[in-house]
A = this chain, B = another copy of it.
């Protein structure tokens, strides 16, 4: 049996194509549309409360009877020094004043963020068939409980070292996330610096390093890239940016337009919005924070501090204030429904004799 054929059997889907989890962009409608079209939709719930997690899962289930993945953040909790926390608030107060956004100073102890361990009971009760995660490895107890409950586990790696660690932890599959990918880098081992490895290199090296299925992510927004990933040894692909501008996307109209008009050089890696490195379309907030020279509080602190600003930008379509996560191939994104976009991709692949597994 070839690799993609094996993958679809393991996941109980029709085509070896995963819609990438994009928190703030992916809606239950998008997940259900992909699931109903034969792919694997991924519902992002990283950092959400157990209640919100359950509610999004139930909403998705009400729209599809097909399997879908739920995506967690598996980071370790970090600390922040009060000096950089306060200086960043001073900076954000000035930015928010420029846009007449009310500012409310926060205390470190005010911030509430849910850990993935808070969400496991919901995933177990809902019998989620596929649980994917990024930013680390989920806790050993969670791995054991979820696997016993029948969930397939998919981790995210940006280096060979991370891929090996996921395999050793008993994870079932690995998303190899190339440098081209939009959104947050899944990195969790950065003692030698942030891995910034192009998919052409990373995919081969991960495929050669582990024996579990590897999914290719980063810059895959076109049928040719899917075929190339299969040639490189991928069992399947994870596609994000292609769906940012679709009907079911939660992206603001300005964000969608920026993605459709983007070039391969439009994006950059930034820590500005969340404290973690992520790839998005360059905007003035990214530039201002860089020019400030300020130390950016690590995730999740910065993410909490920029929340009011991002919410305002989203509601008022001010693209200079929102994180417009997008990959280097985001210009291949399309308007239309997620179903149409997905089916068009599948048809092109079938035309080339791919997906005839």
Residues of A that sit less than 8 Å from B by CB? 159-161, 178-180, 192-193, 195-202, 204-205, 218-220, 222, 224-225, 227-229, 231-233, 263-265, 268, 327-329, 331-332
Q: Max chain B CB contacts within 10 Å: which of A218, A231, A332?
A: A231
Q: State whether B224 touches A329 (Cβ < 8 A).
A: no
Q: How far is the CA of A178 from the CA of B220 in the complex (A)?
A: 15
Q: State whether B200 touches A220 (Cβ < 8 A).
A: yes
List B contacts of A199 (CB < 8 A): 198-200
List B contacts of A328 (CB < 8 A): 197-198, 200-202
Q: State whether B197 touches A225 (Cβ < 8 A).
A: no
Please give the distance in Å from A189's CB to the nearest CB on chain B. Answer: 9
Q: How far is the CA of A57 from the CA of B201 in the complex (A)?
A: 33
Q: How many copies of this chain are found per oligomer?
A: 2
Please give the distance in Å from A28's CB to the nearest CB on chain B. Answer: 29
Q: State whether B201 touches A180 (Cβ < 8 A).
A: yes
From the candidates B205, B218, B332, name the one contacting A329 in the complex (CB within 8 A): B205
Q: State whether B200 touches A198 (Cβ < 8 A).
A: yes
Sample 15 A-B pairs with CB under 8 A, ordered by A number.
A160-B264, A179-B196, A179-B198, A180-B197, A192-B265, A197-B264, A198-B198, A198-B218, A198-B219, A201-B264, A201-B329, A202-B264, A202-B328, A225-B232, A227-B231
List B contacts of A220 (CB < 8 A): 200
Q: How far is the CA of A160 from the CA of B332 in the complex (A)?
A: 14
From the candidates B161, B179, B232, B263, name the one contacting A179 in the complex (CB within 8 A): B179
Q: How far is the CA of A195 from the CA of B112 in the complex (A)?
A: 38
Q: How far is the CA of A204 from the CA of B328 in the complex (A)?
A: 11
List B contacts of A231 (CB < 8 A): 224, 227-228, 231
Q: State whether A265 touches B224 (Cβ < 8 A).
A: no
Q: How far is the CA of A108 from the CA of B58 in the complex (A)?
A: 71
Q: How far is the CA of A205 from the CA of B219 in the complex (A)?
A: 11
Please give the distance in Å from A272's CB to the nearest CB on chain B. Answer: 15
Q: State whether A331 touches B268 (Cβ < 8 A).
A: no
The 6 closest A-B pairs by CB, nearest first: A198-B198, A201-B328, A200-B219, A180-B198, A228-B228, A201-B219
List B contacts of A160 (CB < 8 A): 263-265
Q: State whether A265 touches B193 (Cβ < 8 A).
A: yes
- Nearest B residue to A330, CB-CB: B201
Q: How far is the CA of A227 from the CA of B232 in the complex (A)?
A: 8
From the candidates B200, B205, B268, B331, name the one contacting A200 in the complex (CB within 8 A): B200
List B contacts of A200 (CB < 8 A): 178, 180, 198-200, 218-220, 225, 228, 328-329
Q: How far is the CA of A197 from the CA of B218 in the complex (A)?
A: 11
Q: State whether A222 touches B204 (Cβ < 8 A).
A: yes
Please give the distance in Å from A13's CB to the nearest CB on chain B. Answer: 23
Q: How far is the CA of A199 from the CA of B329 in the complex (A)?
A: 10
Q: How far is the CA of A348 from the CA of B282 in the complex (A)?
A: 42
List B contacts of A179 (CB < 8 A): 179, 196, 198
- Nearest B residue to A220, CB-CB: B200
List B contacts of A192 (CB < 8 A): 265
List B contacts of A159 (CB < 8 A): 263-265
Q: How far is the CA of A179 from the CA of B195 in the complex (A)?
A: 13
Q: Max chain B CB contacts within 10 Å: which of A160, A193, A225?
A: A225
Q: How far is the CA of A220 from the CA of B232 in the complex (A)?
A: 11
List B contacts of A268 (CB < 8 A): 193
- Nearest B residue to A233, CB-CB: B224
Please give the distance in Å from A157's CB to the nearest CB on chain B. Answer: 11
